[in-house]
Amino acid sequence: MEYGVAGTIAVKRVGGNVIDKDVNDWLEKNPWVDVIDIKFSASVTHEDRGNDALIIYRKES
């Protein structure tokens, strides 16, 4: 049974109140990456709010 090679996996974190433009800008500047997944999260407290995106991608060898 062949399992293959894991390769090189990297992540890019984008954070702020509005992150869609930042995520799209990063993807446009890095068109050669193989995106595996993008995880989004949001948090709110009584004083602040924030959004984060974690772009998980495979780097070219």
List the one residue out of 54, 39, 50, 52 whose CA is nearest residue 17.
50
Look at residue 3 and tell me if it is in a domain: no
Q: Tens digits of per-residue pLDDT, 47-57?
A: 888 899 999 99
Which single residue is written with the structure tokens 């890019």? 12
What is the predicted pLDDT for the residue at 57?
A: 92
Q: Give the predicted TM-score (pTM) of the model.
A: 0.77
Alpha-carbon 17 to chain mean position: 16
| Dihedral sign computed on CA atoms, order 18, 19, 22, 28 | negative
How high is the mean pLDDT of the chain?
86
Which carries the bigger pLDDT value, residue 1 or residue 15?
15
| Number of compact structural domains in the chain | 1
What is the predicted pLDDT for the residue at 17?
A: 82
Look at residue 2 and tell me if it is in a domain: no
Look at residue 17 and tell me if it is in a domain: yes
Look at residue 53 and tell me if it is in a domain: yes
∠ CA 25-31-51, nearest 5°, is 35
The parent domain of residue 13 ranges over: 8-59
Q: Tens digits of per-residue pLDDT, 9-38?
A: 899 999 988 899 999 999 999 999 899 999
